[in-house]
Amino acid sequence: MHAVTYELIKECSRTGARLGKLHTPHGTFDTPMFMPVGTQATVKTISPEELYDMGSQVILSNTYHLFLRPGEALVKKAGGLHKFMNYNRGMLTDSGGFQVFSLGAMRKITEEGVTFRSHIDGSKKFLSPEIATRVQEDLGADIAMAFDECIPYPADFEYAKRSTNMTARWAKRCLDTHNSETQSMFGIVQGGMYPELRRMSVEQLGELDFAGYGIGGLSVGEPKDIMYDMLSKTTVYMDKQKARYLMGVGTPDCIMEAVSLGVDMFDCVFPTRVARNGTAMTETGRLVVRNATYAEDFLPIEEGCNCYTCRNFSRAYIRHLFKAEEIFALRLLTIHNLHFLLRFTTKIREAIANDTFPEFKASFFENYRDK
């Protein structure tokens, strides 16, 4: 029995969208869900209480960053990541795979694992399936991710095939190492932009007893229609009784399309990162509150939004804070953007429950400018 299990509640009668529940040691959460990213054991600028208030369920932290600083030993000593950062709902750690591959020239991949240079002090470090698994056990999130290779885009077929096979071997090494009663591990499907490799990866990982599955190697630079095409040729082969997590995707349009293709979980730094640049997310698209057009605009960021920011502050005030380089500005837009995306996934769940998801999707795309 896994510590974390997925329960399929309802399937959309006209699309691949599904309503589900994710049962974890820190509570049961609803899918489809968006997971706010707390890279370094904090969702940048905001508090756990602000996350609770906006309906946050599972949040994500990064093994790569915490392995380097403060180190998994300290987090373990603190009683695990939940206690260290004082967040009492669900938590997932990625494996560090994506981050080390992003280091480019600063890392070297072998069958054994990845040698890389720390972005903090340049020191030499090593992560392998075994180490990434043990580090995640020490961090103690509800869900750990298998250590994989993220195939760059574009990549030729032979490279993608070799890499996908290695990811499968690494996945087995992760599972063989993993030993926790309170944490479950998800495998990560790769396969590049090759449908047959995607299917092969699903089948290879499906033979291993993971609690759920990440879908990796998408949203890595390819056009959106290729991403949707690959996604459709991946989820169709996946076990319906396990959670499907599309890694690193978090814009409303991509979430909407991916949900209709049967995805349950999402994470992305997009909402928090653009917030810190002065960009708010709304149902019609982005609103750049730094722009001069909002200098004397006393409306809230998004009319009808009931987030803390929109209930209490005007565009003019938030713009002033950005111009004056005040930190409170970053927090106010972070709250709005995460609230927006969490509310967005709540509406998706309601539409699936009411069997109106296709209509909800059509109406969303009619209003949304930033495709």
**Which residues are near a second copy by CB under 8 A?**
40-42, 44-48, 65, 69-70, 74, 77-78, 84-86, 295-296, 298, 312-314, 316-317, 320-321, 323-324, 326-328, 330-331
> Of 148, 267, 297, 370, which residue is the catalytic one?
267
In whole angstroms, give the CA distance from residue 177 to residue 119: 27
Candidates 75, 31, 78; CA nearest to 57 is 31
Candidates 320, 343, 344; CA nearest to 332 is 320
Decide if 94 is catalytic: yes
Candidates 367, 361, 336; CA nearest to 348 is 361
Q: In the complex, what is the shortest distance from the CB of residue 86 to a second copy, in angstroms, rounded to a whole number? A: 5
Pick between residue 24 and residue 314 the one whose CB is nearest to a second copy: 314
Decide if 121 is catalytic: no
Q: In the complex, what is the shortest distance from the CB of residue 339 to a second copy, in angstroms, rounded to a whole number? A: 15
Q: In the complex, what is the shortest distance from the CB of residue 92 to a second copy, in angstroms, rounded to a whole number? A: 19
Q: In the complex, what is the shortest distance from the CB of residue 320 to a second copy, in angstroms, rounded to a whole number? A: 4
Please name the helix (run of DSSP H) or strand (run of DSSP E) that holds residue 244, with its range, or none: strand 243-246
SS3 7: strand
Pick between residue 183 and residue 314 the one whose CB is nearest to a second copy: 314
> Of 30, 94, 156, 253, which residue is the catalytic one?
94
Distances (CA, A) of 30 to 5, 18, 157: 12, 11, 37
The first and second tokens of residue 187, run together, are 């495998």
Q: Give the other-Cβ count within 10 Å of 210's Cβ.
A: 24
Burial class (CB in 10 A: 0-12, 13-18, 19+), 196: exposed
Contact 1, 25 (CB under 8 A): no
Contact 89, 52 (CB under 8 A): yes
Pick between residue 32 and residue 300 the one whose CB is nearest to a second copy: 300
What single DSSP character describes residue 8? E
Q: In the complex, what is the shortest distance from the CB of residue 120 to a second copy, in angstroms, rounded to a whole number? A: 9
Q: In the complex, what is the shortest distance from the CB of residue 137 to a second copy, in angstroms, rounded to a whole number? A: 19
Pick between residue 47 and residue 356 the one whose CB is nearest to a second copy: 47
Which residues have a Cβ under 8 Å from the Cβ of 65 and sit 6 or more positions away? 39, 40, 99
Rounded to an integer, what is the distance from CA 190 to the centroid of its chain? Answer: 16
Pick between residue 13 and residue 312 the one whose CB is nearest to a second copy: 312
Pick between residue 198 and residue 315 the one whose CB is nearest to a second copy: 315
Q: Which residues are catalytic?
A: 94, 267
